Chains A and B, each alone.
Chain A
Amino acid sequence: MSAELREQAKDAVNRLFRQRESKGFWILEHRADIHCILFHLLVVTGYVTAFFLYLHPDVAHIKNRTEMAAFVGASVLLLGWVSGINLGVNFHNHVHLRLFRVAWLNRWFGRLWAITGCWPSRFWFHAHVTVHHSDTLGPTDWTLAKRKPDGSFENHWKYSLLHWPWRYARHLWQDYRSGTHPAFRQDAPREFLIFCVLYSIPFWIDPMMGLLLWFAPHWVANILILGSGMYVQHVGCEAESDAHPFRTSNTFFSRFFNMATFNIGYHNLHHSFPHIHWSELPEFQPVVQRIFDANDASALRFGYFRATVELTLGGKWPAIRMRYPQYPSARPAEIPDSAAQAGAR
């Protein structure tokens, strides 16, 4: 039965995939990726603006340390917020499907992209694609929350606070030393050196500014945004198996959330078919919705931020999932014609 579900989903997705036209534009592989570039450039603009105002406090009417603390606090919160999305969602898109048709541009844009989240781009690729996607929730997936003997997940905040950079660093070091990932072992020293040079630039300009307006937002980005995101994407789920091929991830249907975060809420679809471009996930979702439902895949009607709030207020996962189920799935009016035809065939 489940093998059938898997084949049905593959058939439906591949049929729709074949109907697609090439959406390349100039040096971009997909014209929608202009959104990714704009998002990243705005994040960089945010950092540059904050650095400028920190170095020229008179311009921002900052007259004493208390006022500077207020400015830094606001900047850390906002920059951390968008940096987390920029790395965990936006750069994540580039990791799966490269933005540019030019190899060196992909490499260097990626390096400059990932430093706004305090990551060497190659390290993030290894953690996400080589480790996380290849064995989601399996025994070798060290990117996710640990599980207790009863199968439940460790506390959300414990995971977020311990994972970056501590557990990540330990596992990356182990993978580097083990020799089981020769490509990573070969690239890691060079990529780490490039990262150190690029990441140190704000510290050379002003060490305190580097700490407050560069490192501190990255801490917020990795702990509060990325940690929470990784947690809610997979909490309560299970590794892919013959019995349950589509229970590795939770789907989040909030339209506003998906509009503002590159459709990352369609996470079960993304994990099942990572070759689908982020901008096309809503088109593919109705095609497989019925199949996901048949496999009792989890889907909720809000986004990651609200899920994090619910968890922080003491909610437990299965209860949250039951309290906020998805809206009626695959509403006919929302299914694009092409998707409906592909799904029906």
Chain B
Amino acid sequence: MSMKKSSPVGGRQSRLYAVLRPVVADLGMLAGRSLFPLLTVMVIAGTVLWGPWVTMVVAIVVFSTASLLC
């Protein structure tokens, strides 16, 4: 989204946007590329919170969804 320079907050927002955008994009790509192992660790470690049965159901859902989506 482009801001006009005449906008009272436009210049400041644009600079902030310009600084943050690549950082957020890099972090997003880092998480995206590691999405599958990240989910794996979260689901296995999550057993501590929700027990083994939920872990099994979530594992099947995650694996099936990935198989259909890609």
Across the interface, which residues of B come within 8 angstroms of A49, CB to CB?
41, 44-45
Instruction: Tell me how far the C-beta of A247 lies from the nearest C-beta in chain B, rounded to whole angstroms.
Output: 24
- Asked if B40 contacts A46 (CB within 8 A), the reply is yes
- Asked if A74 contacts B56 (CB within 8 A), the reply is yes
B2 CB within 8 Å of chain A: no
Q: What CA separation (Å) do A70 and B56 show in the bound complex?
A: 6
Which of the four size classes fits the interface of chain B? 20 to 34
Within 20-44 of B, Cβ neighbours of A (below 8 Å) are at 29-30, 32-41, 43-44
Across the interface, which residues of B come within 8 angstroms of A77, CB to CB?
59-60, 63
- Asked if A74 contacts B43 (CB within 8 A), the reply is yes
A303 CB within 8 Å of chain B: yes
Quick one: CB contact mask for B48-64 with A, threshold 8 Å, 1 for yes? Answer: 10011101101110110
Which one of A59-67, A123-131, A140-148, A334-342 is at the interface?
A59-67
- Asked if B67 contacts A50 (CB within 8 A), the reply is no
Chain A interface helix/strand/loop/mixed: helix
The chain B residue sitting closest to A68, CB to CB, is: B52
Quick one: CB contact mask for A244-273 with B, threshold 8 Å, 1 for yes? Answer: 000000000010110111100000000000
Chain B interface helix/strand/loop/mixed: helix
Across the interface, which residues of A come within 8 angstroms of B30, CB to CB?
34-35, 38
Q: What CA separation (Å) do A70 and B44 show in the bound complex?
A: 11
Option from B32, B47, B59, B70 in Cβ contact (under 8 Å) with A302: B70
Q: What CA separation (Å) do A39 and B31 show in the bound complex?
A: 9
The chain A residue sitting closest to B67, CB to CB, is: A305
Q: What CA separation (Å) do A304 and B70 show in the bound complex?
A: 7
Contacts from A to B (Cβ < 8 Å)? 34-35, 38-39, 42-43, 45-46, 49-50, 53, 59-62, 67-68, 70-71, 73-75, 77-79, 81-82, 85-86, 254, 256-257, 259-262, 302-306, 308-309
